[in-house]
Amino acid sequence: MMCFQIYPAVDLKDGNCVRLVHGNEKQMTIYEYDPIKQIKFFLNNGFKWVHIVDLNAAFGKHDNKKVITKILKTFKNDIKIQLGGGIRSIEDIKFWIEQGVSRVVLGTFAFKNPDLINNLSNFFSKKLALGLDIKNKKIAINGWTKLLEIDPVKYMSQVDKKYFDKVIYTDVSKDGTMRGVNISQTRLFAKSINIPIIASGGISSIDEVTALYDQRDIGISGVIIGKAIYEKKFDLKNLIMLSGN
């Protein structure tokens, strides 16, 4: 049975921990001004991984490189970092892996440069995740502002599995809303491809996390939770019980 992992989310905007609704910058809430403090909180509560998104870089408006580098140095041997947002080149990927990121999430760059991605060196093997953001059953890129006319399942059949450790499946319509994860679509997608899925978008209750946990046998290997943790919708001990190493 596949190990299941909980990824608390840290979305960085101008150095702050924030949450957006549907990825909209105008619908933003700041939850913590000190990301180091926030990650320390996750570490102290037993989480093994943190999912970080650089929103500034994703939207092409500056970046949080200094903050993320400080996080990596502070928690070097204590917690694993999964990082996405605005990674636009092979050099970017290499830089973050060398800085200590355990898994780099590729979105727009991967879809725009499939040949480049399928010809990487072994250095990148199993260190990447594909960020598959779905909006109206299509792949959303460029900070969710553009939709690609590509069938997500068909696209996945062309991806070289040796590089990609996970696929992060996000239903954009649910993201940041706490209106419930799209379990049926996530399940359908997990059964359609042969890379483990991390579910994302709209998680609101422990029942949903448990429902995803129960689908480990078909390839759902974890879940990213943001707003519901910040809004204290969980007893974190219950989450940790579902999370592996």
Domain that holds residue 62: 5-242
Q: Which residues in the chain come in under a pLDDT of 50? A: none
Give the total number of structural domains in the chain. Answer: 1
Catalytic residues: 11, 133
pLDDT tens digits for range 7-22: 999 999 999 999 887 7
> pTM surpassing 0.85?
yes
pLDDT tens digits for range 27-36: 889 999 999 9
Instruction: Tell me if 132 sits within 8 A of 152, measured CB to CB.
Output: yes
DSSP string, 179-225: S---HHHHHHHHHHSSS-EEEES----HHHHHHHHTTGGGTEEEEEE
pLDDT tens digits for range 121-147: 999 999 999 998 888 778 887 766 778
Radius of gyration of the chain (CA): 16
Residue 170, domain CATH: 3.20.20.70
